[in-house]
Amino acid sequence: MIVLTGATGKLGSLVLKYLLKLTPASNIRVSLHNLSKKQDIEALGVEVVQATYDDKESMVKAFSGADKVFLVSSPSFGIEYRVQSHTRAIEAAIEAGVSRVYYTSLALKDGTRAPVMQAHLQTEAYLRSQNKIKYTIIREGLYTEAYPIWMGFFKMGDKEVILPGDGPMTWASREDLGEATAKILADDTFDRDFYYLTNEESFTLEDTAKLIGEILKQDVTFRLVSVDEFKQVHVHEPQYANHWTPVYESLAKGDCDIRDPTLGQVLGRAPRAHKEVLQQLAADKDSQNEGERWLKGGKSQ
């Protein structure tokens, strides 16, 4: 039995989609904190239970009888809250007798000071300190779909990108990450305790702006500015500006440049090319609302 958390989210829903192609629905259980999509998932033949990261006992019940638990990181902004949530979930998995926890981390380098990575690093350290459960840490590549956030709430048709830092990034599509993660969950031969799922080619944000310009057949200007000027540009989104300024500092240091062949090896094919995914996103108006969703929902890669 495999228990999935976060199965109604952007990544988790894709993991469920591909896992259903690899194992019977009767072998999957979905743990939801919000039951609004309960009937949709049950229609797939998948068992649905309710549990939250704030309630350890609910998670013990949800994980009971499972061999594997797929733990999607908390969407909260708060580092301490996220770590506490993950710790409770791991403790619940141990108490429920789960054999292995699969944790969705983020593909940044060790030692990065980016706030977005701190809860992941602390959760990874906690997992490594455990001797009562096996674990697999999956550092998921940086979502190509999150380009609007990385590019300062950019929308297709904008003519300028203004940022306080840039550097190489190994982007990956959510679709590829969902498929590869499902394969790791379903296949016991993927038994390492750590995987990077990234592309083998990196693109800077300036590179990405140029690709978008080519796709739209228009010039997109890329401009690096001071932190103060960046915050002034986003004076109406102070949470975004304050949270992401250190991320751009890490980006400039090369913390997001992690080229690894594992994603393609797990997929059994080359991952989708960066420009190909951007072309698909250019035709999808909803994809341009990632920034607004990030502000409302907590976080995004």
pLDDT tens readout for residues 22-77? 999 999 999 999 999 999 999 999 999 999 999 999 999 999 999 999 999 998 87
The full set of domain ranges for the chain reads 2-142+172-197
pTM of the model as a whole: 0.93
Say if residue 209's pLDDT is above 60: yes
Averaged pLDDT, 5-32: 97
DSSP 272: P
**pLDDT value of position 294:** 59
Residue 300 predicted with pLDDT over 60? no
Instruction: Specify the CATH number for 2-142+172-197; select among 3.40.50.720, 3.40.50.620, 3.40.190.80, 1.10.510.10.
Output: 3.40.50.720
Q: Which of 5-14, 229-238, 276-285 has maximum average pLDDT?
A: 5-14
Q: Is 71 left (phi over 0), alpha (psi -120 to 50) or beta?
A: beta
- Position 155 scores a pLDDT of 82
Q: Is the pLDDT of residue 83 over 60?
A: yes
Does pLDDT of 298 surpass 60?
A: no
C-alpha distances out from residue 21 to 8, 18, 27, 177, Å: 17, 5, 12, 15
- Name beta bridge partners: 196: 139
Position 297 confidence tier, pLDDT thresholds 50, 70, 90: low
Q: Report the chain's C-alpha Rg in angstroms.
A: 19
Check residue 289 and give its pLDDT. 66
Mean pLDDT over all residues of the chain?
93
Per-residue pLDDT at 293 exceeds 80: no
The arithmetic mean of pLDDT across residues 125-138, rounded, is: 96
Residues 6 or more apart whose CB falls under 8 angstroms from that of 13 comprise 7, 178
pLDDT digits (tens, 9 = 90+) for 84-118: 999 999 999 999 999 999 999 999 999 999 999 99
Chain segment 152-207, per-residue pLDDT in tens: 988 888 899 999 999 999 999 999 999 999 999 999 999 999 999 999 999 999 99
Q: Which amino acid is at 173?
A: S
Q: Which pLDDT value is given to residue 135?
A: 98
Report pLDDT for 239: 80
Strands (E), 144-297: 160-163, 171-172, 194-197, 221-224
Band (pLDDT 50/70/90 cuts) for residue 147 is very high
Alpha-carbon gap, residue 291 to 8, rounded angstroms: 19
Mean pLDDT over residues 139-163, rounded?
92
Integer Cα distance of 249 and 242 in angstroms: 12
Residue 292 has pLDDT above 70, yes or no: no
Nearest by Cα to 200 from 143, 264, 144, 147: 264
